[in-house]
Structure formats: C-alpha cells, structure tokens
Structure 1
Amino acid sequence: MRVIAGSARSLPLKTLEGMDTRPTTDRIKETLFNMIQSEIPGCRFLDLYAGSGAIAIEALSRGAKEAVLVENSKAACACIRENLAFTKLDSQAVLMEQDVAAAIVRLSGQEVFDIVYMDPPYAKDYERGALEALAAGSIIDGYTTIIIEEKLDTDLSYVQDLGYTITKTKMYKTNKHVFLKKEGK
C-alpha cells in the first residue's frame, strides 16, 4: 500500500498484520480520490475507523488543510503514528485514540468538517451509530460530504430516517462507497 498522489506520492505505508483491518486497495483509493479531488485542497478531513491512516494521509498528501483520525485500537494507532511521521504529514494531523461516538462528542464545538470518511468493520452496523452521533453533533453541516465504505450487500436505506440523503454510490467487486449529505442545507 502506498500514497497515490501529492506531496507524499509513492511513499509506502505500513499496515497491521492479520485481519483486524482491511486496508483500502490502492486501486479503490485512487478511484475514490478521483471522485472527490476538487473537494480536497484546503479541506478539514475526518477519518473515522482510521485503521492504518492511509485515507487521511492520502487526503493530506493531496492538499487537505487538516485531518483528524479516530481509531480505538492501540496497534492501529501505533501504525498511524509511524505512517504520519514517515510521510512527514504529522503536523497537519490529530490522532484521537478512542471510540468514534466519544470522539464525535469531543470534537463538537469545533469547526465543521468538509469531508467525513468512515470505513467501519463490515457487517457490524457501526456506521449507524456514527451517523447518529454526527447528526446529533455540530461538526457537520449540509455541505459536508460523508463517505461510507461498506460491503456490497449492506443496506443503508435507513439513512434518510437519520436526516441524510444518499447522493452517490460507487460499487466495486466486493465493497462500495456511499456518499451522503445531511439534509436541510
């Protein structure tokens, strides 16, 4: 796994051993960032369930102003710290080693994020809790792009009941990216 583009282009990133995380492949990461490339420069980026930190690091490498990474695994946080230091992007990043819902509450009252990316463990319905916390908090608005990476068969039809609209879905062989906006811009 590597950084695809920007200031840290081609630098290899570490990942965790085992099956606790599923790093987004370079091909899927490249497709994702091609879709959001115009939103990245100068943005505030929130990476929930950050894993190795590769998605937030890609955003920073491509010109995001700041990234906040949320991860509750000690091993994953150690990996993120190493990757941020190696890419020399650590001064633009904040790593929160805690539960996603608690982090969202802790971030409330700060500036709104432009992009929120979440790649929770598949088939555990964690994204629902994160979306509920985001809707109840003050860190997103109607202009924030929310991206969820999930299994192909994950049903996200409930998001409208939480106050979100699905604006786009990009399907891959084994997973998908679902793009949301909070209703009521």
Structure 2
Amino acid sequence: MRIIAGAYKGRRLATPRGATTRPTADQVRIALLDTLMPWLPGARVLDLFAGAGGVGLEALSRGAAHATLVERDARAVGALRANVATLGVETAARVVRDDVARALSALARAGERFDVVFLDPPYDTDDVATTLTALGRADVLADDPVVVAQHLT
C-alpha cells in the first residue's frame, strides 16, 4: 500500500500481517479522496476502523490538518504507528487503540470535533449502522461534516 497523492505521494505504508484487516483498495481511495478534496484542506479527519491508516494518512497528505485514527487490532495499530512515524506526522496524527464506541465517547468528552469522518468496519459485522448511530450520538461532528461509510453491497 502507498500514499497516492499529495505531500507524501509514493511513500509506502506498512500493512499488518494476517487477515484481521482489509486495506481500502487504491482505486477506492483515489475515488474517495478525490471526491473529498474540497473538504480536506485544514480539515480534522476521523478514520474509524483505520487498519493501517491508508485513508486517514492519505487525507493528511492531501492537506488535512489533523487525523485521528481509531483501530482496535494490535497488529494493525503496530503498522499504523509505524506509518505515522515513517511519514513524520506524529504531531498531525493521533493513533487511538480502542473499540470505536469507547473511542467516540472519549473523543466527545475531550471536546473533539471532526470535519470529515470515514468508517470502514469489517464486512462480517453490522457495525456500519451501529457506528453511524454512535457517531450521531457522540457529539464529535463539526458543523456541516462529511461522513463516508464503506460497506459490503
């Protein structure tokens, strides 16, 4: 996996070993981030079920001010932290190792607000509806946010 465009274009990203995560395909990331470009400059991005961080780190590469990357799988978090260090974005990216519901609660308590939210839960769960409900209740969305959910169709 690699960063496709922006300041870190071409930089390789580590991916976790094993089948516990599924990186968003390059074609999907290209379409997604190209579509989101009007909202990215200066945005605060929340990447839920972040895996190795392909979407959140790509958003930083394209001008987002900050990305919070939430992932609970230990191997994915290891790759995610390595990717943040490799890109040198430790001050612009925060890795949260936790369940999404608990992370949303903690972010709300801390007064965090996000302009762009991306969620890509495992396909074998019903976490899209559950996460969207939790996101709506958590009070972490900025005014006029953009929320994108990837799911199996």
What TM-score do the two structures reach when normalised by structure 2? Answer: 0.94
**Aligned residue in 1 for 2:147:** 146
Paired residues of 1:118 and 1:148 also in contact (CA < 8 A): yes
**Aligned residue in 2 for 1:136:** 137
Paired residues of 1:61 and 1:89 also in contact (CA < 8 A): no
2-structure distance, mates of 1:18, 1:123:
16
Shift of 1:141: 4.8
**Aligned residue in 2 for 1:112:** 113
| Partner SS for 1:144 | strand
Shift of 1:18: 2.3
Length, aligned pairs only: 152
CA 1:142–1:123 in 2, change beyond 3 Å: closer, same or farther? Answer: farther
**Aligned residue in 2 for 1:123:** 124
Paired residues of 2:20 and 2:73 also in contact (CA < 8 A): no
Paired residues of 2:16 and 2:78 also in contact (CA < 8 A): no
Q: Please provide the CA RMSD for this pair.
A: 1.2
| Structure 1 segments (4+ residues) deviating >6 Å | none
| Partner SS for 1:90 | coil
Query: Unpaired segments of 5 or more residues in structure 1?
Result: 153-185
| Partner SS for 2:38 | helix
Matches within 5 A, 1:72-83: 72-83=72-83
Shift of 1:98: 0.4
2-structure distance, mates of 1:82, 1:101:
24
**Aligned residue in 1 for 2:11:** 11
Shift of 1:43: 0.1
What TM-score do the two structures reach when normalised by structure 1? Answer: 0.79
Shift of 1:111: 3.6
1:154-180 alpha-carbon deviations (Å, 9 max, x no partner): xxxxxxxxxxxxxxxxxxxxxxxxxxx
Q: Does 1:87 align with 2:65?
A: no
Identity of aligned residues (%): 37
- Whichever residue aligns with residue 96 of structure 1, its letter is V
- Structure possessing the higher radius of gyration over alpha carbons: 1
- Whichever residue aligns with residue 113 of structure 1, its letter is F
Shift of 1:99: 0.4
Shift of 1:132: 1.6
* Between 134-143 and 112-121, the greater mean CA deviation after superposition: 134-143
- Whichever residue aligns with residue 89 of structure 2, its letter is L
| Partner SS for 1:68 | strand
